[in-house]
Chains A and B, each alone.
Chain A
Amino acid sequence: GENVEQHPSTLSVQEGDSAVIKCTYSDSASNYFPWYKQELGKGPQLIIDIRSNVGEKKDQRIAVTLNKTAKHFSLHITETQPEDSAVYFCAASTSGGGADGLTFGKGTHLIIQP
């Protein structure tokens, strides 16, 4: 089955700097790659996603890049703010809409230092 590796497990950056979280996947059939933000005591919230026919997608301060050849994708957050502090998860799916579920990385705890 699919295996998703996520790095780093903890990332501390100064407010205003950029943060990058990287994930690799094993199944070349994976075609959908969402990113989730989880705040303490809450469920994961989708922040951005990308499909395999797209190399990059941007939404304001957040961007995701996908390299299908290398089987890795990354989350980029620019101009970080205190409210960006949370745990971020990457995921992959072979069924597009996640019909048969998502395979998650183990998460990155992002800490924004004031």
Chain B
Amino acid sequence: NAGVTQTPKFQVLKTGQSMTLQCAQDMNHEYMSWYRQDPGMGLRLIHYSVGAGITDQGEVPNGYNVSRSTTEDFPLRLLSAAPSQTSVYFCASSYQGQGGYGYTFGSGTRLTVV
């Protein structure tokens, strides 16, 4: 199993450009989420999903859109990139069961907006 796969690993955008960060999981997890990590700030929740067709906002949702058409995929869209969105982005998936929650992170996408 690959776990949580994020693409691309690195990306440079110009201000105003749009792009989609891809996230896929092959563990059949119900829950998926996106975080951004900035120096000294820990990880902050952008958007999350509790199942296909259901999404909701986290702590820092402005400037980002998500959708979840399948259990496996949870893409994050930047419609008009801004320098403040320069960050490392992590996708995670999890489930809720007797054995635990399996909260698993991908390896991240490092995004620079110039």
Q: Complex formed: what's the CA distance from A106 to B100 in Å?
A: 24
Give the dominant DSSP class at B's interface.
Answer: strand
A83 contacts partner chain B, Cβ-Cβ < 8 Å: no
Please choose the segment from A11-19, A41-49, A68-76 that sits at the chain B interface, where 4 or more of its residues have CB less than 8 A away: A41-49
Known: A104-B43, A104-B44, A106-B41. A97 touches B103 (CB 8 A): yes
Give A45 to B106 CA distance when docked, in angstroms: 9
CB distance from B40 to the nearest CB of A (A): 6
Interface majority SS (helix, strand, loop, mixed), chain A: loop
Count, chain A residues at interface, CB 8 A: 26
Apart from A97-B96, A99-B50, A100-B56, list 8 A-B contacts with CB within 8 A: A42-B107, A43-B4, A43-B105, A49-B100, A95-B96, A101-B33, A101-B48, A102-B43
